[in-house]
Chains A and B, each alone.
Chain A
Amino acid sequence: MLLATLFESGVKIEHYMVLATALFVIGVFGVLYRKNAIILLMCIELMLNAVNLLLVAFSTYFGQADGQLFVFFIMVVAAAEATVGLSILVLLYRNTRSTDIRLFNKLKN
């Protein structure tokens, strides 16, 4: 099998750990940097995918299916989160005519 030997052909699990960390950090950077609320939701999806990547890498590394099933449940939660988050955003847009997160600090006062 071609792919069974990935972790024996020079690619170490550490490489995937660094790749997943890089993706996660890009997501964190996006959440801090962007002001558009839809882009923030997308950056959260990016962070979830970084975690998924690491879970699948360890699942393959240990030869056990548990990690890949956690990925399923993360996908379920991500789909639910995206639908509810986007509908809240549409509602906010109806009230403020904008998706700038700096306008959404009404609970502060």
Chain B
Amino acid sequence: MSLDLIFYILGGLTIGTALMVVLSKHPVRSVLYLVLTFFLISANYVLMNAQFIAIVNIIVYAGAIMVLFLFVLMLLNLNKENEPKHSPLMTIGAAIAGGALFLVVVAAMRDAILATPMIDANSPKVGLVENLGQVLFTKYVLPFEVSSILFLAAMVGAVLLAKKEKQTID
């Protein structure tokens, strides 16, 4: 089985599940299709020799963020009955807008001139954790620290928002 055949199967499945995320009426089903999409994208990462990103994608996206979404869906008890209805005019408009965007971007990319790849002898090691850690803690150490502050701010924000409001005495 050649690699390009694997690529076509994976790509087709990824687009199919991504479409099901948008088109399925039931929100929980949407979340599960999105988890499937993330697994397929992880498979694409493995195909591209980015093993560490693939594992992190599964742990962080499929494991943490999607479970958060499922939690909120169950907390709010959303199901098919109270799913908001949309007008057919909006559907056609959204489809035309999306299709036009796709055509414009693909047409713009067709004219793009790509530099030749700089594949050197140790390029298969690029996606390994050793190499990534080396670059992360030397070249990108400041963004790394700033992102921890971002996480702290997000955590404080989420706790503040989720806390029940105190009854104000007036």
Contacts and interface: CB of A to CB of B under 8 A. Distances in A.
Interface residues of B, number: 85
A105 interface: no
A13 B46 CA distance: 15
B167 interface: no
Contacts of A93: 76
Contacts of A3: 3, 46-49, 124
Contacts, number: 242
B65 A82 contact: yes
22 contacts: A3-B46, A19-B14, A21-B102, A22-B102, A26-B18, A30-B21, A32-B93, A32-B94, A36-B27, A39-B21, A42-B69, A43-B21, A53-B45, A63-B123, A65-B127, A68-B132, A73-B143, A82-B65, A89-B76, A90-B72, A98-B84, A100-B84
Interface of A: 1-7, 9-11, 13-19, 21-30, 32-36, 38-39, 41-43, 45-46, 49, 52-53, 56-57, 59-66, 68-69, 71-73, 75-84, 86-91, 93, 98-102
Interface of B: 2-4, 7, 11, 14-15, 18-19, 21-22, 27, 30-31, 34, 37-38, 41, 44-50, 52-53, 56-57, 60-61, 64-65, 68-69, 72-73, 75-76, 78, 82-86, 90-91, 93-95, 97-99, 101-102, 105-106, 109, 114-115, 117-120, 123-124, 126-127, 131-132, 135-136, 139-140, 143, 147, 150-151, 153-155, 157-158, 161-162
